[in-house]
Chain A
Amino acid sequence: MDGLSIIKAASAIGAGLAMIGGIGPGLGQGYAAGKAAEAVGRQPEAQGDIIKTMLIGAAVAETCGIYALIVALILIFANPWV
């Protein structure tokens, strides 16, 4: 097996491993959405503000998942070693 094949195989495995980073935002956004649902249940008249705040928080929490996606995309489509 030549070196290039090993690099390609390792890149594919690395891209898969990088997407484990999707666990974190999933947990965090689910928790945020659950808390928002609780808050709406307690104070239905503040629904607009709660949804707005939740969306900003969820977007910021999503950043690390997006970074994992970018790393996986670079490994597959723009690999610097191939």
Chain B
Amino acid sequence: MNGPKLFGYLFGLPVSETLVNTWITMAIAFVMCFVLTRNLKKHPGKAQVIGEGIVTAIDNLVGSTMGKDKMKFAPYILSLMMFLIFANTCGLYGLRSPTGDISFPLTLALITFVLIEVYTWKGRGPKGYFKEYIEPYPFMLPINIIEKFSRPVSMTFRIFGNLVGGIIIMLLAYEGLSGLTYLALIIPIPLHFYFDLFVGCIQAFIFSMLTMVFIARGMDD
């Protein structure tokens, strides 16, 4: 297995396959949002009904998971989930999934980490924020610090490991099937269904759910 290809350098910065596929993912997500939200009317058309359905579903999910007072996170969760779903299913249209490079999930996990810390500070105040470190007993301080910093690491590796495992298995399957002409058309279909669609959507959902649960737990005490 090879890592993401390097296409060249732009202003001294490396342009890797991950970067290009991330921009393609962003373009797909942007076009979808644009098509679904163009000329909104009081009597909705087909596109508007789909768009409203997605937004309502995410609103309900955020409301039931985080509580009705934290609905301001719904736009962020929707963009996170949509971005991750499109990025994880890149294998379906023949691109290397950008989530298979550790920099992409690490960035998202760091955004989540900063959000958790900032909103814990805002929700509880400085005293409550530092009190969290010595709960339930003061000698648990090192364990609490390790727990705090292991969260983004585990979130990164969860999504990265799942996607890289899928990429390697798909690669092995295609290499093993290269001799069989007709079977090679049929056998990869269930594998694509599982490793790209199912795992990708489940991991996107889990990443968003964990983000919501951690932020809500930090704010609520």
Contact = CB atoms under 8 A, between A and B. Distances in A.
Chain B interface SS verdict (over half)? helix
A4 interface: no
A69 interface: yes
Given A63-B154, A77-B1, A55 B209 contact: yes
Contact of B161 (A52, A56, A69, A77): A69
5 contacts: A56-B213, A59-B210, A63-B158, A69-B164, A77-B1
B165 A69 contact: yes
Interface string B190-208: 0000000000001001100
Interface residues of B, number: 18
A66 B154 CA distance: 9
Chain A interface SS verdict (over half)? helix
Of all A-B residue pairs in the complex, the 6 with the closest CB atoms, nearest first, are: A66-B161, A59-B206, A69-B161, A63-B154, A66-B157, A66-B158
Interface string A58-82: 0100110011011001000100000
A55 B206 contact: yes
A29 to B, nearest CB: 12
Nearest to A77: B1
Nearest to A76: B1
Interface in A23-82: 49, 52, 55-56, 59, 62-63, 66-67, 69-70, 73, 77
Nearest to B207: A59
Contacts of B213: 56
Given A56-B213, A67-B157, 7 more contacts: A52-B65, A56-B210, A63-B154, A66-B161, A69-B165, A70-B160, A77-B1
Given A63-B157, A63-B158, A55 B205 contact: yes
A73 B209 CA distance: 27
A67 B153 CA distance: 10
A67 to B, nearest CB: 7
Nearest to A69: B161
